[in-house]
């Protein structure tokens, strides 16, 4: 419904030789636009459109409620900004009590009465669509709560769902980034699938094939044609989970795809085009990654046009009760007893919403009713230990998969170890896995770890110098 209204509106506007269409509200927020590129998120900080009469509509509500603002070059009443933008005529119409539709053209000298009637009808449809979306604002599952931060996130989710530009989601592990990405896709009305790319779980050498696909014979193991994720998500949304893990060598191709929507299937010479929206997420500080040359600055700026930062659960504890009430199904109907809420509030939730769901699920399975504070604290302690163990195992498996895919030990183990992203025990575990795979023969281990030439001594110096006794 939503996507069809947006598409139909723009098809009609193109027939009427419109250069820019834009929907904004009484607060000056730009809710939707189509046509030439504009900048900014509000009327006040934006650029690429004529602000003079827009500001008048916001300052003089009586006039705009009873009549349209129609400006035309025929009577020489266009503002200076319109001449700079090469706009020949513009119209601003109220489409509900709270929304206005701005339309301009660089081709037509004036809009006819029939043009204006069509604009008004389509604008009203668009306004109804926004109203319908906003009715869902307080019922968005998984981002429930009363904190100002979560209210702002709900508003951004609904506002950004109308847009087509990429979105960057920032937040700690477990804070709900993937859930928010799915909500944005849901409210966008896009007809295609929502497809997640679990970036850390894909070996770097296979990433391009996974995303763009390959033809049979494109490389050694390409025995059949493979459809890429981008093609699979046609008309939908592609979610890059942990975008910071995309190797720098592939980031330029990803940037070009985001800008042009064109890509090459490996082994094919003719470019393909895909209508997909990009949502990306990370728990890393991308500014630090840029300084370390691990992330392209131009890709960052392309992604962060629309940005949502999700605060950790410990910084918005007033939302916890609402979240627990929403997730009561995990408790399987069991009542809460003495000290339950104190234990819930006193915990810092390092695993954020994901940890909360795990704790409630385990409590619902393992505990009897009523669930006391001591009961839930025991579950929290058990879950924290198990969560840390699972996280460590996953990290080691991901690194091992990258080594098996042909990446160098120096790149995937030594560098993170020196940066303190890996600890000594984890490095020892990976080396032991390598020795087991190589039957204890260091010559074979060096080959497995992609350490070339006379690197045995260098490797042993690394082990001895860092007290990595295997």
- pLDDT > 90 fraction of the chain, expressed in percent and rounded: 12
Residues 202 and 198: their CA atoms lie apart, in Å, by 7
pLDDT, tens digit, for every residue of 250-281?
899 999 999 998 988 888 888 888 889 999 99
Looking at the fold, whether 96 and 177 belong to one and the same domain comes out as: no
The number of domains in the chain is 4
Among residues 83, 107, 135, which one ends one of the domains? 135
Question: Does 131 share its domain with 152?
Answer: no
In a domain, residue 397? The reply is: no
Is 395 part of any domain? no
65: helix, strand or coil = helix
Domain boundary among 280, 309, 338: 309
**For residue 184, how many other CB atoms are within 10 A of its CB?**
27
Q: Write 291-300 long-range contacts (CB < 8 A, 24+).
A: 293/248, 294/244, 294/248, 295/244, 295/248, 295/251, 296/248, 296/251, 296/252, 296/255, 298/255, 299/251, 299/254, 299/255, 299/258
* H-state helical runs in 97-236: 113-135, 148-161, 177-188, 207-212, 229-232
From 309, 333, 362, give the residue that closes a domain: 309
305 shares its domain with 324: no
Do 239 and 119 lie in one domain? The reply is: no
pLDDT at 429: 79
CATH number at residue 328: 1.10.8
Give residue 75's pLDDT band: very low, low, confident or very high (50, 70, 90).
Answer: very low
CA torsion, points 170, 176, 178, 182, in degrees to nearest 10?
A: -110
User: Which pair of tokens denotes residue 280?
Assistant: 């990306």
Closest CA to 277 of 13, 11, 2: 2
Residues 303 and 317 occupy one common structural domain: no
Q: Is the sign of the CA dihedral 422, 427, 428, 433 positive or negative?
A: positive
- Examine residue 402 and state whether it is found in any structural domain, yes or no: no
Task: Look at residue 189 and tell me if it is in a domain.
Answer: yes
CATH number (domain holding residue 90): 3.30.450.40
CATH number where 182 lies: 3.40.50.300
Domain for residue 398, yes or no? no
Distance CA(438)–CA(233), nearest Å, equals: 40
Question: pLDDT for 109-157, tens place per residue?
Answer: 777 888 877 777 777 777 776 666 666 555 555 577 888 888 888 888 8
Name the residue among 100, 29, 25, 42 with its Cα closest to residue 69: 100
Range of the domain at 69: 2-135
């Amino acid at each position: 419904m939503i996507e069809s209204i947006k598409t139909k509106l723009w098809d009609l506007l193109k027939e009427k030789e419109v250069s820019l269409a834009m929907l904004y509200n009484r607060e000056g927020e730009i809710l939707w636009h189509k046509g030439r590129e504009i900048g900014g998120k509000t009327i006040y900080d934006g650029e690429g459109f004529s602000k003079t009469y827009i500001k008048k509509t916001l300052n003089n509500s009586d006039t705009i409620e009873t009549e349209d603002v129609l400006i035309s070059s025929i009577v020489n009443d266009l503002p200076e900004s319109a001449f700079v933008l090469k706009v020949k005529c513009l119209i601003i119409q109220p489409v509900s009590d709270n929304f206005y539709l701005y339309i301009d053209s660089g081709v037509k000298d004036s809009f006819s009465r029939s043009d204006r009637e069509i604009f008004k009808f389509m604008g009203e449809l668009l306004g109804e669509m926004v109203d319908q979306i906003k009715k869902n604002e307080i019922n968005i599952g998984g981002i429930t709560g009363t904190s100002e931060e979560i209210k702002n996130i709900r508003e951004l989710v609904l506002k950004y769902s109308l847009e087509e530009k990429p979105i960057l989601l920032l937040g700690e592990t477990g804070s709900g980034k993937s859930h928010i990405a799915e909500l944005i896709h849901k409210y966008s009305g896009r007809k295609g699938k929502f497809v997640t790319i679990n970036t850390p779980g894909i070996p770097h050498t296979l990433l391009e094939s996974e995303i763009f696909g390959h033809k049979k014979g494109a490389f050694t193991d390409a025995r059949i044609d493979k459809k890429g994720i981008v093609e699979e998500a046609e008309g939908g949304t592609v979610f890059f989970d942990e975008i910071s893990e995309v190797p720098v060598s592939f980031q330029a191709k990803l940037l070009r795809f985001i800008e042009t929507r064109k890509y090459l299937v490996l082994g094919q010479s003719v470019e393909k085009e895909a209508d997909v929206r990009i949502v990306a997420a990370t728990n890393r500080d991308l500014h630090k990654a840029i300084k370390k040359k691990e992330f392209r600055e131009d890709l960052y700026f392309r992604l962060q046009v629309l940005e949502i930062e999700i605060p950790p659960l410990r910084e918005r504890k007033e939302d916890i009760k609402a979240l627990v009430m929403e997730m009561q199904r995990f408790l399987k109907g069991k009542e809460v007893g003495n000290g339950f809420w104190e234990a819930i509030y006193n915990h810092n939730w390092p695993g954020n919403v994901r940890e909360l769901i795990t704790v409630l699920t385990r409590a619902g399975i393992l505990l009897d009713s009523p669930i006391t504070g001591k009961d839930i604290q025991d579950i929290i302690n058990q879950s924290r230990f198990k969560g840390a163990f699972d996280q460590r195992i996953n990290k080691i498996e991901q690194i091992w998969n990258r080594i098996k895919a042909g990446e160098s030990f120096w790149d995937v183990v030594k560098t993170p170890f020196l940066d303190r992203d890996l600890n000594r025990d984890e490095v020892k575990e990976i080396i032991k896995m390598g020795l087991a795979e190589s039957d204890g023969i260091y010559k074979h281990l060096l080959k497995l770890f992609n350490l070339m030439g006379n690197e045995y001594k260098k490797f042993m110096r690394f082990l001895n110098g860092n007290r990595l006794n295997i």
